[in-house]
Amino acid sequence: MSNSADYAIEVETLSKRYGDLLAVNKVSFHVNKGEMFAFLGPNGAGKTTTVEIIETIRTPTSGRVSVFGMDVAKHKRDILPRIGVLPQGFNSFDRLTVSESIQYYARLFGNKTTDVDGLMDLADLKDKRDVQFKKLSSGLKQRLGIAIALVNDPEVLFLDEPTTGLDPHARRAVWDVLLGLKRKGKLVALGSPGELIQRHADYMWLRLKSVDAGAVETIKKMSFAPVLDSHNNLKVQVKDANDVQKILSAIKLMGMVLPGLDVRKPNLEEVFLSLTGEELHAGALTAGDAQ
């Protein structure tokens, strides 16, 4: 079972009454960090009321609701700067352009460093930056609403029926924006530098100093991928000590004397590039060899 520290949102036996009307009846659920969570139900089922309680807009009648481990009834000021909200029926000022709208709401949050261009790019709105809000289609307005909901770089984003009333093409465009945002927010790995290296680097680097060019071809024939820098220092990725011994034995058979060698685990930068899907090109692999 997950620890509560893993949750972005926790709702326990939440109820909300308006006089004799029971709008929310003992609802319980949790949302994990990094998760996309959909809240479905018929009209009048209490979805918006529940979400507005989590957003600290309304107070619960009973039960407990927490965001980032903080009770929404007691820590509203701490929670609000860390969440973003796209309300149902989002609207903005008719004569403000796309870029002006984002800038306006960023200033409301007191955020002077909002990346307006980055948000327009995320919502695929760069070619609409100077178009007034009133001239945008419904789908474009919703995409602008998502961008505005992100002006404070929130840790949790609430979207109340973001595709209602949109045609299939516009609906798909909005979901593409949200899926792109989800991919950007994924936690790939967690741990100390040593733990990350140990867990995600099941290989070593063998470096040979001042080798003959013939050694490169010999090692390539052994199904390795050596890289030779401008100082004739060779760097090759190996699996374990057995691979190191095979390479050294092959070079010894060539009659070549090695002035120096070392074997090391990858550093944190190399692990980062591996985890994020970036490959180290030849120049990057040998950037530190000249030192």
Residue 221 pLDDT grade (very low, low, confident, very high; cuts 50, 70, 90): confident
Give tens-digit pLDDT for 240-256: 888 888 888 888 887 77
Residue 127: other Cβ atoms inside 10 A: 9
Tell me the pLDDT band of 36, cut-offs 50, 70 and 90.
Answer: confident
Task: List C-alpha distances in Å: 63 to 4, 48, 59, 290.
Answer: 16, 17, 10, 63
* CATH class for the domain made up of 193-285: alpha beta
Q: What crossing angle do the helices spanning 168-184 and 138-149 adopt, rounded to 10°?
A: 20
Q: So where are the chain's domains?
A: 193-285
pLDDT in tens, 114-164: 899 999 988 989 999 999 999 999 999 999 999 999 999 899 999 988 888
Please indicate whether residue 126 or residue 89 has the higher confidence score (pLDDT): 126
Query: Residue 248 corresponds to which amino acid?
Result: L
Average pLDDT over residues 188-213: 77
* Residues in the chain, overall count: 291
Answering whether pTM is above 0.85, one says no
* Per-residue confidence band for 290, with pLDDT thresholds at 50, 70 and 90: very low
For the ranges 83-87, 101-105, 259-263, the lowest mean pLDDT is seen at: 259-263
Question: Residue 113 — very low, low, confident or very high, per pLDDT cuts 50/70/90?
Answer: confident
Give the mean pLDDT of 169-176: 86
pLDDT at 5: 61
Mean pLDDT taken over the chain: 83
Bridge partners of 158?
A: 85
pLDDT at 40 over 80: no
Q: Long-range pairs for 121-125 at CB < 8 Å and ≥24 separation?
A: 122/147, 122/150, 122/177, 122/180, 122/181, 122/184, 123/147, 123/177, 124/173, 124/176, 124/177, 125/98
